[in-house]
A and B are shown apart, each in its own frame.
Chain A
């Protein structure tokens, strides 16, 4: 008998243009392993290969030892009987992973009944007990559509772990959650190893990896770049990629050049108030953005960050208060979007979209080339459609499009939250640099306080003080 709860030897995955190089790991009771990497690094596939749930066309090789039993990785079906009982998988997007037509408590109870083998009554009692323990006593009789992202994550956790599996694999458990909720999930995950289980976490978030501790493996393009104890890898990485990844953490970014003297505001607001769905978002809010200034906005999900920006742009009316815009020209107020592909029609080549803009505003074509070079956009990208280039490239193209109109105010609504850390840093640095240079005021929304703290000249925190008394988690639309 091995001392390990979970052991993988030379686990590799192949097929359909995917190659994951042989990967080995070993976790004893109480062990924690975190796979860290950007999108496309193959970290989720490793989890699926352990589970035996790889999509059709992908084949795993190597040997696995799970809770004392040996398996050939290639035979995925052999692990089917372990699901829920010895191997638990926390799904990527809990909101979608819960049956939309079944109440939360029933989804937990069925695991107790059919996986753990309790009778109907005991299963229901156990489900309610689980939910109460997770602070979800009121949410049990709700449907997933009525839960917030954080609540759905906890329900999914309860449903997945009701079978008492000692090994838990969590696939991007903090995706789309804001900072406080992210920390809560980390605490929840840490329970498994604390109770003598083993935890494998897959994440792109360095902070999550740091908080979980244990062993960290950095993956890139299907290869292990670096591995070791979290304390060591996440403070003094040896590999070049590991160092870049760490450098991309907002806390380590260089501070931007100082703003210099504040000039007359490009947009200012006084006594703003807004309510939505009968709930007050903010009241008596005043602010001003100077040319070239970066103003950061932070706050929990649903606190009205986007609404505030849209009000400054004149797209959403305020309930109260007035907004004054120093109108340079009609199109001087622009916006960058959270999800770059969503901000473009997917059917046209970028060249066509750029052409439209040039023609509409009779722009000087000579200005395009140098700006593209500044943004690191290659000419050949223009022959592609928005879905055919990476998110980072597309966001930089969005910046190009906006800057060609020489705006005086730019509202950037979480412009990098869907990008990988390294791309995020590169994109934001460019944005700040260009904004300073072109005297364009920027209002930057982010759910990452460290990022705002680092690059912004000023900070607005929404959703604090008296607005705290509304529990945001009660509203399903907010997560």
Chain B
């Protein structure tokens, strides 16, 4: 019977498709850039050097400087750290309650399902960015307001997808059979629910991270998000816009980084489950 245990491999996370693999590689490169730069270069994203504004890339400043003479290399690295950190944080705080509540609602049904469902509907009544905007208006320039707003919008997706899937699975013969064989809720979740839910949760997480990053950049871009001198992608774009003629390369950098960041997450997500 030793062969039995040997053959049993853990499958907590789903295998990635080539498309998802490409996304993972792109994302890994970008993150390596963001975390290696401050470590390898002595670069401060806030240090201004008025004598060296809008300089072309050089050995000293591999990506050039902005209109205040700040190192674009350092600022981009800091901006990616900020965007990705915030995305990770809001995805985690949206996914965990979203999945737990979704499983509870789908499994138990009844009043619990109705209460949680109405709560989710209420959060969906307003378009997501509008809700985030109103929260941000209450506490301007505050990272936490942004984070709470985005998480509040994101959890609903997990909840709805997980609830719908759970409802189907709970009524399925496979779960019924295991229940008759005497398995408890935890074993049922592990063997029947999680393998079905995990790929969808991963997809939603990647899409959610992308929309969190886009939302933050959009708010920064229209000057109602984080405040200068924070290095944030949307903010950097709007700051560099007036200098487009003198320094098109500077303007292009935050756009390109945002593009690659979001693209890598979208690729990682795979097919949209909605």
Which among B5, B178, B192 is the interface contact of A355 at CB below 8 angstroms? B5
| A337 / chain B contacts, CB cutoff of 8 Å | 173, 177
Segment 354-406 of A: residues with Cβ below 8 Å from B? 354-357, 360-361, 365, 368, 379, 382-383, 398, 401-402, 405
Known contacts A335-B176, A343-B174: A351-B181 contact under CB 8 Å: no
Interface mask (B175-187 → A, CB under 8 Å = 1, otherwise 0): 0111011110001
Which of A171-179, A276-284, A326-334, A461-469 contacts its partner?
Answer: A326-334
Please tell me if the beta carbons of A313 and B180 are within 8 angstroms of each other in the complex. yes
Say yes or no: B195 contacts A351, CB within 8 Å: no
What 9 A-B pairs are tightest by C-beta distance, nearest first? Answer: A347-B195, A351-B4, A352-B8, A383-B7, A343-B173, A343-B177, A337-B173, A342-B173, A345-B192
- Indicate if B191 sits at the interface (CB-CB under 8 A): yes
**Shortest distance from the beta carbon of A181 to any chain B beta carbon, whole Å:** 24
Q: Is the CB of A355 within 8 A of B180?
A: no
For the complex, is B11 an interface residue (Cβ under 8 Å from A)? yes
Q: Which residues of B contact A353 (CB under 8 A)?
A: 191
Residues of the A chain whose Cβ atoms lie less than 8 Å from the Cβ of B183: 356, 360
Contacts of A253 in B (CB 8 A): none
Whether, in the assembled complex, A210 has its beta carbon less than 8 Å from a beta carbon of chain B, the answer is no
A344 within 8 A of B: yes
Asked whether B11 lies within 8 Å of A331 as measured between CB atoms, the reply is no
Q: Could you tell me the distance in whole angstroms from the C-beta of A419 to the nearest C-beta in chain B?
A: 16
Interface status of A9 (Cβ within 8 A of chain B): no
Judging by beta carbons under 8 Å apart, are A355 and B195 in contact?
no
Which of A339, A351, A361 contacts B8, CB < 8 Å?
A351
Question: Are the C-beta atoms of A330 and B174 separated by less than 8 Å?
Answer: no
Is B172 part of the binding interface, using a Cβ–Cβ cutoff of 8 Å?
yes
Range, interface on chain A: 20 to 34
Beyond A345-B174, A349-B7, A356-B187, 11 additional pairs, beta carbon < 8 A: A315-B176, A331-B180, A339-B173, A345-B191, A348-B191, A349-B9, A360-B187, A382-B3, A382-B7, A398-B177, A402-B181
List A contacts of B178 (CB < 8 A).
345
* Bound form: Cα–Cα A37–B191 in Å: 36
B21 to chain A, nearest CB (A): 21
Instruction: List residues of chain B with CB within 8 A of the CB of A365.
Output: 1
Q: Provided the pairs A330-B182, A360-B182, A361-B182 are in contact, do residues A335 and B177 lie with their beta carbons within 8 angstroms?
A: yes
Q: Which residues of A contact B181 (CB under 8 A)?
A: 331, 334, 357, 360, 401-402, 405
A347 contact from B7, B11, B176, B182, Cβ within 8 A: B11
In the complex, residue of chain B having the shortest beta-carbon distance to the beta carbon of A383? B7
* Chain B nearest Cβ from A442, distance in angstroms: 15
Minimum CB–CB distance for A354 against chain B, Å: 7
Instruction: Select the residue from B5, B8, B182, B183 with max chain A CB neighbours within 10 A.
Output: B8
- Closest B residue to A352 by CB, please name it: B8
Contacting residues, chain B, for A348 (C-beta < 8 A)? 8, 11, 191, 195
A345 to B187, CA, bound (A): 12
Nearest-neighbor residue (CB-CB) of B181 within chain A: A357
Taking CB atoms, residues of chain B closer than 8 Å to A331 are 180-182
From A333, A344, A345, A347, B180 is in contact (CB under 8 Å) with A333
**Least distance between B197 CB and chain A CB atoms (Å):** 11
**Within B3-20, which residues are at the interface with A (CB < 8 Å)?**
3-5, 7-9, 11
User: Cα distance A361–B206 when bound, in Å?
Assistant: 40
Residues of B within 8 A of A354 (CB): 4
CB B78 to nearest CB in A, in angstroms, measures: 41
Q: Nearest B residue to A386 by beta-carbon distance?
A: B174
Closest to B179 in A: A315
Within the complex, the shortest CB–CB distance from B204 to chain A, in Å, comes to 19
Q: Does B177 contact A344, Cβ atoms closer than 8 Å?
A: yes
Q: Which of B3, B173, B182, B191 has the most CB of A within 10 A?
A: B173
Residues of chain A within 8 A (CB-CB) of B187 are: 356, 360
Contact with A along B155-194 (1 / 0, CB 8 A): 0000000000000000011101110111100010001100
For residue B4, give the distance in angstroms from its CB to the closest CB of chain A: 4
- A residues within 8 A CB of B3? 351, 379, 382-383
Listed by A's residue number, 17 A-B pairs whose Cβ atoms lie within 8 Å are A333-B180, A335-B176, A337-B173, A345-B178, A345-B191, A347-B11, A347-B196, A349-B9, A351-B4, A351-B5, A351-B8, A354-B4, A357-B181, A361-B182, A365-B1, A401-B181, A405-B182
Contact with B along A301-321 (1 / 0, CB 8 A): 000000000000101000000
Residues of B within 8 A of A357 (CB): 181
In residues 89-137 of chain B, which contact A (Cβ within 8 Å)? none
Scoring B residues 200 to 238 as 1 if CB is less than 8 Å from chain A, else 0, what string do you get? Answer: 000000000000000000000000000000000000000
User: CB-CB < 8 A to B8: which residues of A?
Assistant: 348-349, 351-352, 355
Q: How far is the CA of A55 from the CA of B77 in the complex (A)?
A: 51
Nearest-neighbor residue (CB-CB) of B172 within chain A: A342
Q: Determine how close the nearest CB of chain A comes to the CB of B139; give it in whole angstroms.
A: 44
Given known A-B contacts A337-B177, A342-B172, A382 and B4 have beta carbons under 8 A apart: yes
